[in-house]
Amino acid sequence: MDDGVAAMLRTLDDAFPAVEQMSAEAARAAVAARRQPVTNADDAVAEDRVLRLAGGPVDARIYRPHGAADERRAGVVFCHGGGFVLCDIESHDGFCRAMARHTDSVVVSVGYRRAPEHRAPAAAEDAYEAFTWAVASATLLGIDAHRIAVAGDSAGGNLAAVVAILCRERGTPRPAGQVLLYPVIDPSCDTESQRSRATGCFTTRAALQWYWHQYLGGDTVPDPAYLVAPARAESLAGLPPAVVVTATLDPLHSEGVAYAGRLRAAGTPVLHRDFRGLFHGFLTMMPFPPAIAARDLLWSDMRELLSADAARGAS
């Protein structure tokens, strides 16, 4: 392990609360207290909006890069991580601003309903409805309805993957791509990396089990199972191109790698970035040098995914 990574992990392990020993409300407060000020506010112009969805009103923040575009921009519907329980639009504000700037896209960050107040599949349904809203509102948003991706980190990566499946199952316009950043894929929490990286790598197996318990309200998975566990879909055929990011020190590494492999086996174009010696959540930890380099790759991958040429090829 790189010395810089080891030092960062020690800092994170010492500072991050043991959420599995806390109530959701206390865990949220503890995590919010660690939040650092946004230093890249000038990357994009932000507008707050309330989406009127079937499950109730949901906050959203729309980020637009500076400068006039020659034609309608691409769009990204982004779902934040936090184990379906923690974090919110504010926690990922800097990341979404950078995404808008460096991918030259309009980013819609979705403040979906969180557990345990709202059990599964509330978050997934909010994410799906937010995506369909973005497609229907493309002209209003100034984006190309055929170039809207869905993206998310951690639990948000789960929601992005579920949205891609739901669009196929419900016969609605599909995303131009799915960007899955160290995604949570399945509630079993019994993969090789979950066992070998159970502690000492920032996100712990016990915390992941707690997150799932909050979201599911127990051990029962809804029917159909893919509403919460995209890996349990009978088929992954007919899904949009994917960018999948995994990190080898992440307890979620095995399930992310396996999901990328299943997508590829089903005929879905997949670009899989597997970052050796890095850990869960690293992309949002700035100015951590490995995160800076990884972000540059991610923005490039997303620009390609959202390009007009890629959209024509997928149509």
How much is the pLDDT for 71?
A: 66
| C-alpha distance from residue 153 to each of 52, 53, 71 (Å) | 24, 22, 29
Pairing of strands 73-79, 56-65: unpaired
Strand order in 73-79's β-sheet? Answer: 44-53, 56-65, 105-111, 73-79, 143-153, 178-181, 242-247, 270-275
Strand partners, 181: 153, 245
Positions marked catalytic: 154
Confidence of residue 52 (pLDDT cuts 50, 70, 90): very high
Instruction: Say if residue 17 is preceded by a cis peptide, omega within 30 of 0.
Output: no
Helix (H) or strand (E) holding 313: helix 308-314
Amino acid at 212: W
Q: With CA atoms as reference, report the closest residue to 280 among 207, 216, 203.
A: 203
Q: Which residue has the tokens 């080891």?
A: 6
pLDDT of residue 67: 82
All domains in the chain, ordered by first residue: 3-307 (3.40.50.1820)
Res 260: pLDDT: 99
Tens digit of each residue's pLDDT (9 = 90 or more) over 169-213: 999 999 999 999 999 999 999 999 999 999 999 999 999 999 999
Q: What is the pLDDT of residues 54-71, one digit of tens each?
A: 999 999 999 999 986 656
Phi, psi values for residue 56, rounded to 5° = 125, 175
User: How would DSSP label each residue in 82-136?
Assistant: STTTS--TTTTHHHHHHHHHHHTEEEEEEE---TTTS-TTHHHHHHHHHHHHHHH
User: In angstroms, rounded to a whole number, what is the distance separating the alpha carbons of residues 161 and 150?
Assistant: 8
Q: In 3D, which of 118, 121, 156, 130 has the Cα closest to residue 227?
A: 121
What are the tens digits of pLDDT across the range 251-289? 999 999 999 999 999 999 999 999 999 999 999 998 899
| Burial (CB count <10 Å: 0-12, 13-18, 19+), residue 282 | buried
Label residue 68 exposed, middle or buried (CB < 10 Å: 0-12, 13-18, 19+).
exposed
